[in-house]
Each structure stands twice: as structure tokens, then as C-alpha cells.
Amino acid sequence: MNVKMKNCLLAALLLFIAPIALADTLSGRVISVTDGDTVVFMTGGNELRVRLTEIDAPENDQPFGDEATAMLADMVSQDLVTLESEGTDRYGRTLGRFYVGDLDVNREMVTRGGAWVYRDYMSDSSFLENETAAREAGRGLWALDEPIKPWNWRRGERLPAPAITPVSSVSDSPWSCSDKPYCGDMTSCAQAYFHLEQCGLQRLDRDKDGVPCESICR
């Protein structure tokens, strides 16, 4: 094998293993829990402020904020936890997923109803299944009458969206399921709910939170 071919093979190998090297596995303990998705983690004598990936928990001043913080603390209060780190965010926090034994803490926060899936930064879409199951079972924050998404809360939203009176049946509706419209075709939130619930147009609810066409159903 000539030198040129060896160099090519080496370059290909480095490209293959590079993504694996991006994630570091660290062992340590959580010394404090800031909220339902942020902790201070001690590993190798160093303190890291860690933001859990895939999820967004209620803010501390938000309904269910204290409960979400307590839920996370209960899971990571073990002597030893494992962090799979995935770099840092713009605030200098380490990003990653925590494990206690075989328990995926980030996923469990969603499963127990302690957090939403963070759509804007989601890399594992299977978390949406856990959120749907938690919502349908009314677990955690889903037992609230009108839970407000934390990214909306941070933008100042405090009141739930106005209730929409659903159309009881297709025959009672001024709209037709044969229209098969998109969100851009909707003239009201009630029409969007009709096409989602009565016609089954799941494309109107892209983030799978049960609210269609959020540009008009906020």
C-alpha cells in the first residue's frame, strides 16, 4: 500500500470517528438543582453548570416549576450519576444527558410530566412519544388546566389561549373534510381544530402538542 493510499484511509478513519469524539462521558454527582432542566455537576474536582438536552421544564416562577425542580432532584440525588456531554451553549453551560444506572433522566422528566420536549433544539424525536403519553395520562404538568410552554412563558405569556368550542360533528360544521387545507388556508382557530380533530389532519399539529396551527391558535 503506497503512502498516498495510507493517508487517504487515515483521513477517512478520522472522519468516521470524529462525531463519536464529540460526546464525552463523565461520572460525578449533582451538587445542586437550579430548576427542572439545569443542575450543577461535580466531576473530577470541577463544577459544571449543565443544561439537560431535549427538554424544557417550567420556569421556577411558572406553575409546576417547583414540582419539576423537585422531580429532577429526586432522580439525580444519587451518589454517582453519568453525564453524556454534548458541548456547550451560548451561556457557557455544558449540554448533555444524565443517566442514573440505566435510567435516562432527560427522557424520564418528559415521561413523568416534568418537562416538555424542547422542539427548537430537539435531536431525538422519540421524546415526542413520551410527551404524548404523559399528556394523555395527565401526568405532572399535564394535570394543569392550561399548561403554558416555558418558551412562551419566557416571552411574557401568562394567560392560556382562549378556549375553543369544538364542532361536535362533521355534519354540524360549516367546513368540509374534503377541503384538506393547510394552516395558511385557515380563517379561524375553530376551523383549525375542526380539521385536526374531526378530519384527522395531523399535519396541522406539527409539534404534536394537540394545538393546531399555532400561528392562530395561541
Show the domains of the chain with their CATH numbers: 8-148 (2.40.50.90), 161-218 (no CATH)
- Provide the strand spans (E) within the chain: 24-35, 38-43, 46-52, 55-56, 81-88, 94-100, 103-104, 116-117
What lies within 8 Å, CB to CB, of 13 at 6+ separation is none
Catalytic residue among 51, 97, 112, 135: 51
Catalytic residue among 54, 59, 131, 214: 59
What lies within 8 Å, CB to CB, of 183 at 6+ separation is 192, 204, 212, 213, 215, 216
Choice between 144 and 160, residue whose per-residue pLDDT is larger: 144
Region 79-104 average pLDDT: 95
Decide if 59 is catalytic: yes
Decide if 51 is catalytic: yes
Region 83-112 average pLDDT: 96
Catalytic residue among 84, 86, 93, 119: 93
- pTM equals 0.66
pLDDT confidence of residue 17: 40
Query: Of 187, 138, 183, 189, nearest to 163 (Cα)?
Result: 189
Region 2-11 average pLDDT: 52
Query: Of 69, 50, 49, 70, nearest to 58 (Cα)?
Result: 69
Look at phi and psi of residue 45 and say left if phi exceeds 0, alpha if psi is from -120 to 50, else beta.
left
CA 190/CA 179 separation, integer angstroms: 15
pLDDT tier for residue 19 given thresholds of 50, 70 and 90: very low
- The strand pair at 94-100 and 46-52 is best described as parallel
- Quick check: 4 pLDDT over 60? no
pLDDT confidence of residue 104: 98
pLDDT confidence of residue 20: 36
pLDDT tier for residue 157 given thresholds of 50, 70 and 90: confident
pLDDT tier for residue 5 given thresholds of 50, 70 and 90: low
Decide if 155 is catalytic: no
Choice between 132 and 7, residue whose per-residue pLDDT is larger: 132
**Which own/partner contact pairs does 60-65 have at CB distance under 8 Å and 24+ positions apart?**
60/35, 62/148, 62/150, 62/153, 63/141, 63/144, 63/147, 63/148, 64/114, 64/140, 64/141, 64/144, 64/147, 65/35, 65/36
